Amino acid sequence: MQSVLADVAVSVSELKKNPSAVMAGADGMPVAVLNHNRVMGYMVPAELYERMMERLDDLELVEIAKARAGETPILVSLDDL
């Protein structure tokens, strides 16, 4: 059984008819797109997608910082740069 990770779900045929109305009806939330009652993808508003990408970037930077936390620092003067 497949999980639907959105409160709003729409069929591909309904989405084709009026994608703008589907997004407006979702009120800024993700929309699960179904094909034969199986999730084939998710649609998210641009603002939500951008926030998700920023969050993923932040998580990646945290992992880099954690990996480098044990490194010995190298002192550099601004004149050397």
Side chain identity at 6, as an amino acid letter?
A
In a domain, 33, yes or no: yes
In a domain, 49, yes or no: yes
Query: What integer pLDDT is reported at residue 31 of this predicted model?
Result: 98
Tokens 């034969």 found at: 36
In a domain, 79, yes or no: no
In a domain, 61, yes or no: yes
pTM of the predicted protein model: 0.76
pLDDT-derived band at 72 (thresholds 50, 70, 90) equals: very high
In a domain, 21, yes or no: yes
pLDDT-derived band at 54 (thresholds 50, 70, 90) equals: very high
> In 3-state terms, what secondary structure has residue 78?
helix
Residue 1 has pLDDT above 90, yes or no: no
In a domain, 74, yes or no: no
Token readout for 46 is 């641009």
The boundaries of the domain holding residue 57 are 8-69
CATH number, domain at 29?
Answer: 3.40.1620.10
CA pair distance 51, 6, nearest whole angstrom: 17
| Tens-place pLDDT, residues 5-35 | 999 999 999 999 999 999 999 999 999 999 9
Provide the domain count of the chain. Answer: 1
In a domain, 34, yes or no: yes
